[in-house]
């Protein structure tokens, strides 16, 4: 399974951005999720170093993906 987090269509880029943190990674591991995809440039990564450490320890990929909101 994969968790994907992105802005909603027509959502202003300054309010209520999608976010992940170390707890997100921990909970994804518990749920059997293998990868987390976030929208590059439009997501908040809280405690980035802790996210990277948890992802490496738990074998979860964290990927930033650019989307066209055209």
pLDDT of residue 57: 98
Instruction: Please report whether residue 31 resides in a domain.
Output: yes
Domain count, the chain: 1
More confident residue, 61 or 8: 61
**Pairs from 22-29 (Cβ < 8 Å, separation ≥ 24):** 22/46, 22/47, 22/50, 22/51, 22/53, 22/54, 24/51, 25/51, 25/54, 25/55, 25/58, 25/60, 25/62, 26/54, 26/58, 28/3, 28/58, 28/60, 29/54, 29/58, 29/59, 29/60
Instruction: Please report whether residue 49 resides in a domain.
Output: yes
Domain that holds residue 44: 18-65
Q: pLDDT per residue over 13-65, tens digit each?
A: 778 899 999 999 999 999 999 999 999 999 999 999 999 999 999 999 999 99
């Amino acid at each position: 399974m994969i968790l994907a987090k992105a802005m909603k269509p027509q959502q202003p880029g300054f309010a209520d951005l999608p976010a992940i943190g170390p707890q997100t990674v921990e909970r994804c591991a518990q749920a059997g999720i293998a990868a987390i995809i976030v929208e590059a440039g439009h997501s908040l990564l809280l405690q980035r170093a802790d996210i990277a450490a948890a992802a490496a320890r738990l074998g979860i990929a964290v990927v930033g993906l650019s989307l066209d909101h055209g």
